[in-house]
Structure formats: structure tokens, C-alpha cells
Amino acid sequence: MLTIRELKITLGARVLFENATFQVNAGDKVALVGPNGAGKSTLFSLILGQREPDSGVVERDAWTMVGYLPQEAEAHGEETIMDVATGRVDEVPQLEKRLHELEKIGDVSSPEYLEAHAKHDSLNDPQVETKAKKMLRGLGFKETDFNRPAREMSGGWVMRARLARLLVMEPDLLLLDEPTNHLDLLALLWLQNYLKNYSGALLLISHDREFMDEVVQQVHEISERKLIAYTGNYTDYLRQREERYEQQLAAYNNQQKEITALQQFVERFRSVASKASQAMSKLKAIERMELIEKPQAPRKPFRFQIPPPPRGGQRAASLRGIHMAYGNNVVYRGLDLTIERGERTVLVGPNGAGKSTLLKILAGVVEFQQGERDLGHNAKIGYFSQHRAATLDPNRTVLDEVIASAPAMPENEARGVLGSFMFRKDDIFKLTQVLSGGEKSRLNLVKFLVDPPNLLLMDEPTTHLDIHTVESLTLALERYEGTLVFISHDVHFIKHLATKVLHVNAGAVTAYSGGYEYFLEKTNALDDARAALTAA
């Protein structure tokens, strides 16, 4: 289906891949992993024919239809959600135009023509709208959304509609780049179950460990400019990678011992006439050796102890009779809620149900129309949003911002924390004004960790983090001594942190005083996702 051999790709002076080999067969479910910048998206662009390798071969079977979901997409014109999901406004006309162009030049047997023809047939299927409706429902759309202009909806919902279109086409090879970023819990569970049963092949980039554990059967790691294959899911990969490293390290150490012993013999006896020939023989033995490179140790999560926050009262915060509306859109009516000291609470529910609004009410950054918000004794609130760039001093460096937040922290420790959150080498000397949105988000996160509040409110803190950094954050927050309320779509993150779940839906907030698994059991969320999959 897809074969890559002896691949070499350079990006400027940097070599991303060298002599890399990779293969995906029909029905394979493969995760592509590696640190940010390792070349995962570059590999996707090669497979899609968007760029050429410096050397090597990228082969796709002529009959293989490839579907691709990028991380971001926007709506155009007046197309409805159903238009996006069926491709009838933009993709079908584009495919027809390209087919006519290829037919005019007689190129009707090329892989491009065959793939375009297969996609056109899929989107022209008489049942395409019925299929699209089933996929849209599974991904969380309501019937009333189907004919809404896509431009009225958020980018996350547009991405869901584009994902529905891919699933309608049922490509032979599905390329998904962070598909869970814009999904709420039920939609994520639905997609997870759908992909587990998908008949085509899947190549996935994801930072969601739980999702990969449930879906994939192979992991290909980009490491040391190679693609290294492992069998099993992500947890299996972590174990096998550690075993592989230990074996390689042992082989390297054994060879180094052998080389040292041979060199010592040569140095000792090269001047002794009776031993000179033996010494030369051992010298040639060293020269003939295929030297084993010292393996790089697998990257470990950075273990950072969050300093103890000031002790607060038994009740961290409480809401009474809260009425909150945006114009005619009533989000909450008469909401009562208490957050107790030491709880680690996750807010779950459909996108648009009011989770972020509830976090903002607790943080005091939005005004509600009625009710009372009371903070506990000695409360110190920290509200982490992905849109807090204004809190950074544009004339400070990254390192200066952290040191200003925690003046007592030694500089080497501040550098260590920044390094674990992907600020490395000269990155720490950048002025904050030149940082990207993702870098600013990560820097704000570090500032909260080095100078923690006793009530920490976090909205999607794992966005813009790679999988190792998510693990570092998880380990740090597990030992955090304050009160935590957070929103996340990362199931692994939720499982390891949440001691309480608040289910937010249709203006109601229902508390489950247990972890994520307890919530799933009590709400039958998994059964609902499977039922939606059966209906689809």
C-alpha cells in the first residue's frame, strides 16, 4: 500500500531523515511518534506528494485512495455543514475539473487519476448524504446543525465536519494529524471505536496516549533520523523502546570493552618482537569492526516538584444561584456549586455546553447576571487560558519571565523547567514578544507551576505540548498540594489527575465524586458511544 525506502530529507542544514525505511500495509493501524519538530508532518507531506525527498523512494499502490485531515481548517463562503461533510460544494467540482484535465491529456491510468476518480465516486454515491448524517451525529452534531453555514461555527466544529467527509469517503489510507484536538468526550469515544473497526489503514499523529493505546497496533518512532518500528500500542512501544535501549547500550558497552582490551594489548606488545605480529593482528581487528554507536537514552518526563501554595480554607470557592447568559443564549440558570480544598476536578461535556464559561465564572473574568461567587479564606486564584499572551512582558526574555515569577528559584532549576516545556538552548533568551501563540501558552503554564496559586483553574493545558511534556505536567500536578479545576480532552491526563468529575450539559452541572472511570460507569458514556457507532 505504502512503502518508503532509503529516505533522506534535509531542512536547511538539519537532516530529518537519513536512510529511513517505512511501510504501511492494508488494514494497518499505525501511530507516528517523535518530539515536536522531528519530522512527523514532513513525512505526511511526502506521502501526500506535497514535497519531494532529497533521495529515496516513496511508493503508493496505484489503487490506494488517501484521505488527510490537517490540524486546522477554515470554512469558505456560504457552504453548510452538510456541504462540508459531503464535499459537494468544493471537493466534487475540484475533482471533476482535475479529472477532465487528466482525461484531456490522456493520463487516465496514473495514480493521481485513479485516486481522484475513486474520491469522486465516493462523494457521488447516492447514499453520501445519509452516510454524512450518521458521521456528523457520531461526531456530536445536532440535526439542526446540518444546514447551518459552516462559517457560523467554530474552527473545531468545521474540523469535525471535514473529518466526517473523510469517513464518508472511506479512503484506503487515512492520515490523521491530531484528530482529537477539537473533540469532546463522547465524540472522542465515538471516533475511537469507529477507527478500531475501520477496514482501511490508518496513519496517526497524536499526543493522546489513551487514544493511541485503544486504536493503534503499531508505533513508528522517529529517532536518530530513522523510523523505528514497534509492534503493539503506545504502552507496548514504551516498554519495547526501553528494552531496545538497554540491549543497544549493552552491545555498545561490550564492544567498547573489547576495543579497550585490544588497544591495551597493542600498546603493550607492539614494541615486543615476539608479540608484534599479534599486536598488528589485533589492531586490524579493531579497524575491521563495525562500530556500534552509543544509543540515545529514551527521553524521560521531567520531574518537577511544584512549590507548596499558601494554604486556603476548606471551601476553595462556591457559586450560588448563578444566572449566566450571552444575549439570548442562556448558559446557566440558578447554578449552585462548591469546590472543596484539595479536590482535582475535571469539567466534561459537549463542546459549547458551558465548561469554559464555568471556569471563567470561578476565575472572576466574566460578569454573570445574577447570583453570588464566594472565594475561600486566603484564596489565591490562577486562571490558565490559552489566550493569556497579554500577561507577558514583551520586553522580557523567556527566562526572565520565569525568574520574575519565582525570584527564589535558582536559575539552573528555572532552565530545567523551561527545558521540559520545550524551551531549549537559546529559546530561553527570546523576547516574549516574538513567541508564537503556542510558546506563549507554554510559558504561561510554566509561570503557574513555579509560583502556584492554591486554586488553579486550567482550560486545555495540554494543547501545544508534546506527549513527553504532557507526562511531565501530569507528574507535577499529581503532587500539587492546592485545588485544581480543569478542562481537557486528553483522557490519559484526566485519568491520572481527576478525583471528581463535573458533567456540564444543557445548563446542568452534575457532580460525580470519583475519577474518570467512575464517571464512565455511572453515565454509561462508553455504551452511548458504542450505540452511536452502531447507528452510524
Per-residue pLDDT band at 111 (split at 50, 70, 90)? confident
End-to-end Cα, the chain, rounded Å = 27
pTM of this prediction?
A: 0.82
Check residue 525 and give its pLDDT. Answer: 66
What's 455-487 look like in SS3?
Answer: EEEEECCCCCCCHHHHHHHHHHHHCCCCEEEEE
State pLDDT tens for residues 221-279.
998 889 999 999 999 999 999 999 999 999 999 999 999 999 999 988 888 888 888 88
In three-state secondary structure terms, 429 is helix
Pairing, β 55-60 against β 66-69: unpaired
What contacts 24+ positions apart, CB below 8 Å, involve 7-12?
7/46, 7/53, 7/55, 7/56, 7/57, 7/58, 7/227, 8/53, 8/54, 8/55, 8/56, 9/39, 9/42, 9/46, 9/53, 9/54, 10/54, 11/39, 11/42
State pLDDT tens for residues 438-453.
788 888 888 888 889 9
Check residue 261 and give its pLDDT. Answer: 93
Q: Do domains 1-64+172-255 and 315-535 have the same CATH topology?
A: yes
**Residues of the chain with pLDDT > 70: what percent?**
96
In three-state secondary structure terms, 118 is helix
Quick one: which of 355, 389, 364, 400 has its CA closest to 464?
Answer: 389
Per-residue pLDDT band at 514 (split at 50, 70, 90)? confident
Top mean pLDDT of 96-110, 378-392, 487-501 is at: 487-501
State pLDDT tens for residues 191-222.
999 999 999 999 999 989 999 999 999 999 99
Per-residue pLDDT band at 347 (split at 50, 70, 90)? very high
Task: Write the class of the CATH domain 315-535.
Answer: alpha beta
- Say whether pLDDT at 534 is over 60: no
Specify the CATH number for 1-64+172-255; select among 3.40.50.300, 3.40.50.620, 3.20.20.140, 3.30.470.20: 3.40.50.300
Check residue 346 and give its pLDDT. Answer: 96
Grid coordinates standing for 138? 457520531
Check residue 529 and give its pLDDT. Answer: 59
- Say whether pLDDT at 163 is over 90: yes
Distance between CA atoms of residues 269 and 82, nearest Å: 83
In three-state secondary structure terms, 442 is helix
**Could you state, in order of their start, the residue ranges of all structural domains in the chain?**
1-64+172-255, 74-171, 315-535
